[in-house]
Amino acid sequence: MANLPTVLVTGASGRTGQIVYKKLKEGSDKFVARGLARTVEGKEKIGGEDDVFIGDIRDVDSISPAIQGIDALVILTSAVPKMKPGFDPTKGGRPEFIFEDGQYPEQVDWIGQKNQIDAAKAAGVKHIVLVGSMGGTNPDHPLNKFGNGNILVWKRKAEQYLADSGTPYTIIRAGGLLDKEGGARELIVGKDDELLQTDTKTVPRADVAEVCIQALLFEESKFKAFDLGSKPEGTSTPTKDFKALFSQVTTRF
């Protein structure tokens, strides 16, 4: 048991983070799982176990207990826009989105991720897996307009910071996230948002979570960044060989 790698997933109470945390727990023959949630409610949501720490990624001191002694880090924290109160769908128009004070992408996706990368590097972590988003090559992407948050701009800045950190990394830029069953599709890797022009630009959350787990197991995933999409269910053979999937990737950023 003693030589199993300890893996921390941050954003563990988020929709994809929960799946990664669960998969780490299920893989107890391969990993010692840890989670980080921002609130007590978040910790309770995933079972309230002792291996789930509570901390605020915007404050590096509050996350250092979770990071001490880990071997790998999976970053799944993200700013989340909220619908502006008072939107009335019966009147037509589009809802407006806002970020809560202190929870803007600059604070969460840039400062918060930078804090995690710095703390992990200082703790001697051997691998950081970061889940980002497709669309970062386009500064005018509609997602950047949400709450004037420039979310993809800040995410990409954090990705670049990780790629420049010297720590082995895997950057997974997920396509549109689907709440569908995992393991039922052929996964597609791409680069530079090319997949956004295709009908393979979406991917189940469960598959993103599985790619995070698999990235921890293969050297072929290290020092690589890629876009991740999938073919529609039932149209091709589901991906099982993750070593081959990572080997297809030639891009470092």
Question: Does the annotation mark 165 as catalytic?
Answer: no
Instruction: With beta carbons less than 8 A apart as the criterion, state whether 246 and 213 touch.
Output: no
Instruction: With beta carbons less than 8 A apart as the criterion, state whether 69 and 4 touch.
Output: no
Joined tokens for residue 122: 């200082």
Instruction: Report the phi/psi class of residue 193: left, alpha or beta, with left for phi > 0 and alpha for psi in -120 to 50.
Output: left
| Residue 98 host element (H or E) | strand 97-98
Strand 97-98 relative to strand 187-190, pairing? unpaired
Q: Per the residue annotation, which of 78, 133, 221, 230 is the catalytic one?
A: 133
Joined tokens for residue 180: 């569908």
- Catalytic residues, which ones? 133
